[in-house]
A and B are shown apart, each in its own frame.
Chain A
Amino acid sequence: MPAAEAGTAGGDGAFELGGRKWGSRLIVGTGGFRSIDDMERALRASATEMVTVAMRRVDPQATNSVVDVIERLGLFVLPNTAGCYTARDAVRTAQLAREAFESEWIKLEVIGDDRTLLPDAVELVTAAEQLVADGFTVLPYTTDDPVLARRLEDVGCAAVMPLGSPIGSGAGIRNPYNLRIIVENAAVPVILDAGIGTASDAALAMELGCSGVLLASAVSRAEDPERMARAMRSAVEAGWAARHAGRIPERLHAEASSPEQGLAELG
Chain B
Amino acid sequence: MRGPRMRVIVNGQSYELDAGTLLTDAARRIGIEPDARGLAFAVDGEVIPRDEVRRRELREGQRVEIVAAIQGG
Binary contact readout B20-57 vs A (1 if CB under 8 angstroms, 0 otherwise): 00000000001110000111111001011110000000
Q: Is the CB of A54 within 8 A of B72?
A: yes
Q: Is the CB of B39 within 8 A of A100?
A: yes
Whole-angstrom CA separation of A52 from B65 in the bound complex: 21
Whole-angstrom CA separation of A39 from B47 in the bound complex: 30
Residues 44-85 of A contacting B (Cβ, < 8 Å):
52-58, 60-62, 65-67, 77-80, 82
User: What are 10 A-B pairs with beta-carbon distances under 8 A?
Assistant: A31-B72, A52-B72, A53-B72, A53-B73, A54-B71, A56-B72, A65-B68, A67-B69, A96-B47, A98-B40
B12 at the interface (CB under 8 A from A): yes
Q: Which residues on the B side are within 8 Å of A98 (C-beta)? A: 40
Q: Is the CB of A55 within 8 A of B69?
A: yes
A25 at the interface (CB under 8 A from B): no
Q: Is the CB of B12 within 8 A of A55?
A: no
Q: Which residues on the B side are within 8 Å of A62 (C-beta)? A: 70
Residue among A60, A82, A98, A107 facing the most chain B CB atoms (10 A cut-off): A60
Binding site for B on A (CB under 8 A): 29-33, 36, 39, 52-58, 60-62, 65-67, 77-80, 82, 92, 95-102, 107, 109, 216
Whole-angstrom CA separation of A259 from B32 in the bound complex: 75
Of B31, B40, B71, which one neighbours A31 at CB under 8 angstroms?
B71
Q: Is the CB of A29 within 8 A of B72?
A: yes
Residue among A52, A57, A107 facing the most chain B CB atoms (10 A cut-off): A57
Known: A96-B41, A216-B73. 4 other contacts (CB 8 A): A32-B71, A53-B71, A60-B32, A92-B42
B14 at the interface (CB under 8 A from A): no
Closest to A89 in B: B45
Is the interface on chain B under 10, 10 to 19, 20 to 34, or 35 or more residues? Answer: 20 to 34
Chain A nearest CB, measured from B60 CB (Å): 22
- Given A30-B73, A54-B73, A80-B73, do A95 and B47 touch, yes or no (CB 8 Å)? yes
Whole-angstrom CA separation of A216 from B72 in the bound complex: 8
Q: Which residues on the A side are within 8 Å of B48 (C-beta)? A: 99
Q: Is the CB of A58 within 8 A of B66?
A: yes
Residue among A55, A77, A78 facing the most chain B CB atoms (10 A cut-off): A55
Q: Is the CB of A57 within 8 A of B66?
A: yes
Of B11, B67, B72, which one neighbours A100 at CB under 8 angstroms?
B67
Chain B nearest CB, measured from A244 CB (Å): 29
Residue among B11, B68, B71 facing the most chain A CB atoms (10 A cut-off): B71
Of B12, B45, B47, which one neighbours A57 at CB under 8 angstroms?
B12
Of A54, A101, A102, which one neighbours B70 at CB under 8 angstroms?
A54
Chain B nearest CB, measured from A109 CB (Å): 8
Chain A nearest CB, measured from B23 CB (Å): 13
- Given A58-B39, A67-B38, A96-B42, do A107 and B67 touch, yes or no (CB 8 Å)? no
Q: Is the CB of A100 within 8 A of B49?
A: no
Chain B nearest CB, measured from A213 CB (Å): 14
User: Would you list the 3 A-B pairs with minimal beta carbon distance, nearest first?
Assistant: A54-B72, A60-B31, A52-B73
Whole-angstrom CA separation of A109 from B73 in the bound complex: 10
